[in-house]
Amino acid sequence: MSFKVSLFPGPHHFDATADTTLLQAALDAHLLVPYGCRDGACGACKGRVLTGEVDHGRSPESTLSTTEREQGGVLMCCAHARSDLSIECREVRSAQDIPVRKLPCRVASLDKVADDVMILKVKLPPTEEFQFRAGQYIDFLLPDGQRRSFSIANAPGGDTLELHIRQIPNGLFTSKVFTSMKPRDILRLEGPLGSFFLREAPEQGGDKPIILLAGGTGFAPIKAIVEYMQAQGIHRPTTLYWGARNRAGLYMHELAERWQQEIPGFDYRPVISDEVPDGWAGHKGLVHHAVIKDWPDLSAHQVYACGAPAMIDAARADFMQTCGLPEHAFFADAFSFASDNKL
Ligand SMILES: Cc1cc2nc3c(=O)[nH]c(=O)nc-3n(C[C@H](O)[C@H](O)[C@H](O)COP(=O)(O)OP(=O)(O)OC[C@H]3O[C@@H](n4cnc5c(N)ncnc54)[C@H](O)[C@@H]3O)c2cc1C
Ligand code: FES
């Protein structure tokens, strides 16, 4: 049996069966609602049920509290329809133009740029055009059915995807990247995924100045967005904050410095939290605190943030409470851990 789900702001609707998550049903109907991790960890897909009943499925309390549920809150990536529904979402758009595909790819190169960061480049089949928006991510499909998510670090165009992979101790996939993976190995991927990309239309705030906030390998999708802006000649005033524990963690510091020289209106402010080198002229401490220090008023900005979930949560809360950033002007991809129960 299928139920009719209407999304607000409309006019968008789709059918959902009780055994499919609301997110999957929306994506199957080529509707792009905000989402990131697809496993209840990041909160990007949070909406509000206006009418009807849902089964919250595996929605964790940490992402959707009991109080939020009582007020109609819903995680679209976890919940299932139990009746016809109307749901309020932050943003809805047609995804018809960019299909999600499963493709093989070949490892082109592996470059270790820090003790725990590898730049992996993969080549796509020459016959297949892979479209994506700068900032989106792909899932590597592992032989045992598990998936691992990584952001694409280059702008669209060409047949190569660049990924910045942080080694996770005992991590199933990243350990292989650092030990046994080699050029010409074949991998399988699915993508593009996620709703982390630059909002350009004036009604989406596409003329506002931008704060880019990256933690560690959260630099990857930010790099893609900057390269895209460069290629398109988008010169909105942009300030990039890139945070790492030590100088080595800013593994493309020189590139970011070059952007500052070359791109009109682009400013780069690196931030080191732990092992601050002698003579360091940049910010020290938590990366989002550096933003608050420099921009006590963010009410006219858009923020694009990417990195560890704790950083994203703290930045969202502090920017809204302390700096007056409107909730709809904060876009984020939280690098949550993989779990076996993804879509
Ligand atoms: C949308 C999205 C985009 C992402 N993009 C990137 C990216 O561009 N670059 C990148 O380096 N990572 C990225 N990640 C994070 C990456 O997908 C996970 O870290 C992944 O779980 C690593 O896979 P693994 O098989 O090596 O480790 P797993 O086998 O999944 O994990 C092994 C153990 O380590 C823990 N763990 C896993 N990841 C982390 C972590 N990040 N920090 C601390 N502990 C962890 C797990 O809880 C588990 O106990 C992204 C995640 C999401 C959701
Ligand atoms: S919590 Fe639903 S996409 Fe992350």
What is the per-residue pLDDT across 154-182, written as a single tens digit (0 to 9) for each? 999 989 999 999 999 999 999 999 999 99
- Is 34's C-beta closer than 6 angstroms to any atom of ligand 2? no
Cα(242)–Cα(288) distance, integer angstroms: 9
The ligand placed nearest to the CA atom of residue 339 is 1
On the question of pLDDT at 341 being above 70, the answer is no
Phi-psi region of 116 (alpha: psi -120 to 50; beta: other; left: phi over 0): alpha
Q: Which domains does the chain show, CATH number per domain?
A: 2-94 (3.10.20.30), 101-193 (2.40.30.10), 202-334 (3.40.50.80)
Contacts of 253 (CB under 8 A, 6+ apart): 242, 247, 270
Q: Is the pTM of this model over 0.85?
A: yes
On the question of pLDDT at 340 being above 60, the answer is no
Type of residue found at 43: G
Interval 279-305 mean pLDDT:
97
Give the phi and the psi of residue 68 in degrees, each rounded to 5.
-60, -40
The predicted-structure confidence for 193-227, as pLDDT tens digits, reads as follows: 999 999 998 888 999 999 999 999 999 999 999 99
CA of 31 to the centre of ligand 1 (A): 27
- Is 271's C-beta closer than 6 angstroms to any atom of ligand 1? no
Task: Give residue for tokens 């360091």.
Answer: 280
- Is 148's C-beta closer than 6 angstroms to any atom of ligand 1? yes
Average pLDDT, the chain: 94
Nearest alpha-carbon partner for 74 in 53, 91, 95: 53
Give residue 96's pLDDT band: very low, low, confident or very high (50, 70, 90). low
* Residue bearing the CA closest to ligand 1, atom 46: 337
Give residue 9's pLDDT band: very low, low, confident or very high (50, 70, 90). confident
The ligand placed nearest to the CA atom of residue 165 is 1
User: Could you give the percent of the chain with pLDDT greater than 70?
Assistant: 98
247 three-class SS? helix
Nearest alpha-carbon partner for 132 in 195, 43, 205: 195
CA of 111 to the centre of ligand 2 (A): 31
